[in-house]
Structure 1
């Protein structure tokens, strides 16, 4: 592919967690690296990092892992933490073990707290990560909240006005859209990513969020067939739909 970035085979595979350069060199010598059906013994060779590389290269008889620039959609279950180091179950543990050694590392695009479930995105593309979370992009996030007490009917106007100030902060929130689903359930669309924002918004109007689930980011919705704790890679078109 014209214009695609290139890298030495040993450096590329090392950054993808396949081992040290010496280990990759030994693998190449014994025919363990195949590109376009041909043994690639010289691991100092530079190759183009194209989206189809995973279909053209095999490592030890298995397809190459997705090359750098991957984007993962995870249906985050309750009880998992968006961290590399905290105690307890971590979202990264659902990924293949080798993927946890990639450099640059795979990181979450924003965070969902331990008691929030739903659509979580992960990537090793730092530019994409910052595009999604940048306040200038106004990428919408849609949450379904189950509340401890019935809605009183004034919350939607208050959230939409864009003047709500959360406790401990000075800057008002941007306007947010509230869709009432039942007396104690609502769908909230926000364009910011402040700490525990949705929970704090409902706390500010005297309510408590008992359950919180993220359904959508930008134009990308969590599919019904993606079970909690499972993930899949996004296509380029799906990734771009985040900015629709």
Structure 2
């Protein structure tokens, strides 16, 4: 692949803008030699302004999503892409969220430009556990864990029961809920179904991946070890 196309696909600008980067001498190899738009160079050898290129196609990253951001690219308010380098929005293929967290939910969000990987993560047969911590408006009654674990709970306006879910009570109004599916606003709707209300919600884990101290609003690219860990706890 020619260098100009590589740069454009990674979001460093249009092909015209990428060509201009090269003309300005801002694109070099690992030794500092200036590269030209028509050069064919290994991805790992390219530098822009002295910095290695962003990861190639197939990138997977973890973001600690704060409350107040949406996962949509069309929302007029704050979106999760605002927390990433602007060029990430221009990548081809596009960088997409793996599922969604609503505006009022914080926590671990995955993004990738690998369509096959995205579908593998969200596919029902993957059975990837997703762990949420919820602050509730009211103390638990005591029968919620059995209700969630039974595999018979129906959400409003749905006809297919939820898969069994595990509820761990941390405090009378603070719980940890582990799911293996991802229906629309599922956690909030589950507690609504048992007469309660979620005041705050945080996703702490997906599969074998946890935030591990990653601060709100921060992100990191996941490596091969992280990817293996992601699927370690799948069913």
RMSD between aligned residues: 1.6
TM-score by length of 1: 0.89
Q: More displaced, 142-151 or 234-243? A: 234-243
Alignment correspondent of 1:198: 187
Query: In the alignment, does 2:9 pair up with 1:20?
Result: no
The number of equivalent residue pairs is: 232
The offset of 1:79, in angstroms, is: 0.8
Q: Which residue pairs with 2:220 in the alignment? A: 232
Task: Give the match's secondary structure for 2:4.
Answer: helix
- Where structure 1 has 5 or more consecutive residues not aligned to the other structure, the ranges are 1-6
Tell me whether 1:32 sits opposite 2:14 in the alignment. no
1:186–1:21 Cα change, 3 Å: same
Question: Unaligned 5+ residue runs, structure 2?
Answer: none
Q: Structure 2 length as normaliser, TM-score?
A: 0.92
Deviation at 1:62, TM superposition (A): 2.8
Native 8 Å contact 2:71 2:101 kept in 1: yes
Residue 163 of structure 1 and its aligned partner are, at CA, apart by 0.8
Counterpart residue number, 2:93:
104
Q: Pick from 143, 162, 178: which aligns with 1:154?
A: 143
Question: Mapping of 1:154-193 within 5 angstroms?
Answer: 154-193=143-182
Q: For 1:39, what is the secondary structure of its paired residue?
A: coil
Give a deviation string over 1:119-157, Cα, whole Å, max 9, x none. 111111111111111111011100001111111111111
The 2-side partners of 1:18 and 1:161 are apart by 51
- Deviation by residue 1:32-54 (Cα, 9 ceiling, x = unmatched): 322232636443344455xxx2x
User: Is 1:179–1:187's contact at 8 Å kept on the other side of the alignment?
Assistant: yes
Query: Structure 1 stretch 91-100 or stretch 56-65: which is displaced more?
Result: 56-65
CA contact (8 A) 2:151 2:161 kept: yes
How many angstroms does 1:164 deviate by? Answer: 0.7
Trace 1:113-152 onto structure 2 (pairs within 5 A): 113-152=102-141
What SS does the aligned partner of 1:179 have?
strand
Question: CA offset at residue 27 of structure 1?
Answer: 3.4
Of 202, 210, 223, which residue of structure 2 is paired with 1:213?
A: 202
Q: Distance in 2 between matches of 1:23 and 1:141?
A: 41
